Chain A
Amino acid sequence: MSQLHVTTRINGDDTEFLCEAEDTLLDVLRDRLGLTGTKEGCGTGDCGACSVAVDGRLVCSCLMLGAEAEGRDIATIEGMATGDQLHPLQQKFIEMAALQCGICTPGILVAAQSLLERNPDPSEEEVRYWLAGNLCRCTGYDKIIRAVMETAADMRRAS
């Protein structure tokens, strides 16, 4: 069983790794590259805890093979802040208590960032439907939705 050699870019860094053909991108990120900020909640694409952006597109990393990362540009939660400067979504989630246990938080932040890149002025309904693939069991979503909308408003004012 020979391993596959993959060259990719993760959070702006050129990266190489070896993986089994059956390894998911999530397995590679967590177990081969030590990027454990991306979480596994289900392994079947139902919970969104493993959300990452691949070439700017939001995907469940548990549903993509590691080998498919070849030549792609992957963004994970670890790349969201710039140095010690949190992304406005990250800052707002803390300020507005939009997380409790925090296990779904990386996936929700990645998904929310992907929304705001496409739609800087989403309605509550648009936020709710965009995040419908990200399960959170602690918050009832209320503070998450508010934090995303507040961040969007702040970012619009700042731009």
Chain B
Amino acid sequence: MALDDTKKTREFKVVGTRPDRPDGIDKVTGRARFGADMVAPGMLTGRILRSPHAHARIVKIDASKAEALSGVKAVVTRADFGEVPEDVADVLDNCMAGDKALYDGHAVAAVAASSPAVARKALKLIEVEYEVLPHVTDVDATIKPDAPVLHEGRQQETVPEGMSQNVIARSEFGHGDIEAGLKQADRVVERTYRTAATHQGYIEPHACLATMGSDGRADLWVCTQGHYMVRNTCAAILGMEQGQLRVTASEIGGGFGGKTVVFLEPVALMLAKKAGRPVKMVMSRSEVLRATGPTSSTSIDVKIGMTKDGKITAGFAELRYQGGAYPGSPVDMGAMSGFAPYDLENVKTVGWDVVTNRPKAAAYRAPGAPMAAFAIESAIDEAAKGFGLDPLEVRLMNGADEGTRASYGPTYPAIGLKATLEAAKSHPHWSAPLGENQGRGVACGFWFNFGGDTCVSLNITPDGTVTVSEGNPDIGGSRASMTMMAAEELGIPYDQVRTIIADTGSLGQNEVTDGSRVTFAVGLATIKAAEAAKKEMCRRAAMVWGIDEEAVEWEDGAARPAGPNAGKFPPMTLKEIAAIASNTGGPIAGHHEVNAEGAGVSFATHMVDVELDRDTGSTKILRYTVFQDAGKAVHPSYVEGQFQGGAVQGIGWALNEEYIYGEDGILQNAGFLDYRIPVASDLPMIDTVILEIPNPGHPYGVRGVGETSIVPPLAAIANAVSEAAGVRMTQLPMSPPRVLAALQAKAEG
């Protein structure tokens, strides 16, 4: 063929390999500095006093005895904070209660003291007078007209009149005619599903170290998913200019969405301001569980119509998510994502955002999506099995593809759902035999993936090595990915590039590390910054050679004359150009700032085998395989790691994890002994299959991979347990007592 007009598939040299992570040695030797690992001269210990009540009016706080204690340098209550802008009012109220304590563990006062022992003692000396109010923690109970009301006047116009004030907002998505679709169905599955609140469960508790001078300039060292967010939020709450607050992100010991908001930081700054000394604050595990971001507990009604050959004629879901004590549960994302894997003529979802006396929900890996997928993928499974149909075939038949109008509005470009289903169908796992009391489940999952504000600065050093500065905390290996993309684009070895996470004084605004955005958006900006540097290096070479810069191209780490008319010059390498940079115009750098669009959506299919112990009701995961589209896997080992980690968090959510509140509204399991996340002995290996359907919105085809992996497991495991038990499981977690009760109910008929 003389001419090939199809776009040549790019051959990568660095991307797709598995180099060692740049933060590896620090992390295996204990040198890596996390939130609690920093110290400052003259540093004080900050501690928070928390409400012992689920709902109470704060009548009076008397801190005089605490203030009189030797070693106490500052006490802070809400009275120390002034009026704040509306968009951070709830954030402040969550960090430090105002008129009311809204949940067990809500912060009501804080101290800074010369030692942890003094701080603990001081907390006991703070006298808080509470007027205890009735409370509500259940998602269905809070909607009832007679439920205790958390906030007056927060209800939005979308909510019909006459509903409890705890119902904050109603949203609706979809297209077509549900009733008409249901009429075409041969079977309608209609069920209500419930999921418990779970916690992100990062092993590193929240921690920060704040310093503020009398000139109003402040520094903050903090473990967070977004130090720019921390800067902007704290500056707004403290009435500071953003430029006066410099925030440095520590290494982050897990976040999963839970570190996308502030809890301690504004309080630490206020304590530091009042005390005139640096203040370090570190949460205990019980504080983490009582007062930081769990996800919503939910109650979801689903109605699915299916013909006997497996066509879904209508899909409807009504979702109720309690987001804790403040508006803003992730119900919209649940309502948008639940049916997103399918090409449906008639689809509708209604979401209800409701508040309860629980800690404010924070994002948790694909926030809102796993619960919706649990409900909808369970109903699809039940409908398919009711006709004796293969659940993978039914999903393939109804699966979304390029050109499908998504249930939440947009029309998909190239997507990977069917590739994951085909891979699942042909995998040996699908045809492996099952034993007695065993069941196999499958489910699909979707996540949007985000882009957002991003800055990258790429600098060429005089000796020709490269530093990349980016503004997103590295939560899953992104420094390695950025290094790889910079090396790829510049045509130099991986070890010639070092990527750092810059503080807020060094770059422009950067969106939080969330939405699986970093490898996509920061990667995009890194590639563009490298392109800018290459262009400048070509210009320098052209200058040296005395030819037009358009006559120079960059290939394999060197500037080269492009084409026969450019003149014959030997290639000039990056190192050679860097060495003479001072004489050709000065230092060389590339940078890129963008609100990144074009984050490709992501799909996965999960397959799981379980075995039930009929005497105890306990479930063992026997085999697990993840099939997910990564677009392009920059570092395949780290992509596998994201798949495996998400799947196992989903296993915990499905089988064990649960916020348990007593009748008194107090959290009963605020520790890792009773809030039990999966341990190594609970699990098999988690097999992974990476599919690569390139994202048209990224130069290398990259899609975010971090979140989708937690979307299918809840439903996949429920489908497997239901098959093994012979009973449809509709409530999470499927803990041993709950499974046992279901088995007994079935036996009693």
Contact = CB atoms under 8 A, between A and B. Distances in A.
- Residue in A103, A127, A140, A146 with the greatest tally of chain B CB atoms within 10 Å: A140
A128 interface: yes
A122 interface: no
Interface string B675-689: 001111111011000
Interface stretch (B81-89, B251-259, B354-362, B486-494): B251-259
B25 A86 contact: yes
Nearest to A146: B685
Nearest to B204: A103
Given A101-B476, A135-B203, A90 B673 contact: no
B683 A37 contact: no
Interface stretch (B28-36, B315-323, B464-472): B28-36
Q: Which of A46, A78, A81 has the most CB of B within 10 A?
A: A46
A20 to B, nearest CB: 7
B476 A76 contact: no
B253 A39 contact: yes
Interface residues of A, number: 58
A14 interface: no
B645 A138 contact: yes
Interface string B194-229: 000000111111000000000000000000000000
A140 B254 contact: no
Interface of A: 20, 22, 27, 30, 35-44, 46-47, 49, 76-78, 80-81, 86, 90, 93-97, 99-106, 109, 125, 127-129, 131-146
B24 A36 contact: no
A159 B413 CA distance: 56
Contacts of A97: 18, 21, 477, 637-638, 640-641
A101 B253 contact: yes
Contact of B25 (A94, A139, A141): A94
B641 A44 contact: no
A38 B30 contact: yes
A101 to B, nearest CB: 5
A44 B34 CA distance: 20
A141 B648 contact: yes
Secondary structure of the A contact surface, majority rule: loop
Interface in B630-686: 637-638, 640-641, 644-645, 647-649, 671-673, 677-683, 685-686
A22 B117 contact: yes
A49 B28 contact: no
A144 B648 CA distance: 14
Nearest to A34: B39
B370 to A, nearest CB: 15
B51 to A, nearest CB: 21
B686 A142 contact: yes
A49 B23 CA distance: 18
A140 B110 CA distance: 36
Contact of A103 (B29, B203, B256, B641): B203
A70 B649 CA distance: 41
B33 A137 contact: no
B203 A104 contact: yes
Given A140-B645, A142-B685, A102 B29 contact: no
Contacts of B29: 37, 77-78, 80-81, 86, 90
Contact of A139 (B21, B645, B677): B645
A113 to B, nearest CB: 11
A67 to B, nearest CB: 15
A133 B284 CA distance: 19
18 contacts: A41-B203, A46-B671, A77-B28, A78-B29, A86-B28, A94-B25, A97-B21, A99-B28, A100-B254, A101-B203, A101-B251, A101-B252, A129-B680, A135-B203, A137-B201, A137-B649, A141-B683, A142-B683
B285 interface: yes
B565 to A, nearest CB: 48
Contact of A135 (B23, B31, B33, B679): B679
B203 A137 contact: yes
A137 B641 contact: no
A40 B637 contact: no
A35 to B, nearest CB: 7
A37 B36 contact: no
B204 A39 contact: yes
A80 B678 CA distance: 27
A35 B30 contact: yes
B27 A99 contact: yes
Contacts of B255: 101
A78 B672 contact: no
A94 B672 contact: no
A22 B118 CA distance: 13
A40 to B, nearest CB: 7
A143 B638 CA distance: 10
A143 B685 CA distance: 8
A158 to B, nearest CB: 19
A137 B680 contact: no
A76 B29 CA distance: 10
Contacts of A141: 648, 678-680, 683
Given A90-B29, A94-B21, A100 B205 contact: no
A44 to B, nearest CB: 6
B475 A101 contact: yes
A47 B203 contact: yes
B20 interface: yes
A5 B538 CA distance: 66
A137 B34 contact: no
A99 B644 contact: no
Contacts of A106: 28, 30
B129 interface: no
Contacts of A94: 20-21, 24-25, 28
A42 B18 CA distance: 33
A99 B24 contact: yes
Interface in B539-594: none
A125 B683 CA distance: 10
B127 interface: no
A22 B115 CA distance: 13
B495 interface: no
B402 interface: no
Most buried by B among A38, A39, A101, A103: A101
Contact of A138 (B25, B26, B476, B682): B476
* Shortest Cβ-Cβ A-B pairs, 7 listed: A37-B30, A103-B253, A102-B27, A140-B648, A46-B672, A94-B24, A140-B644
Given A102-B23, A145-B680, A46 B673 contact: yes
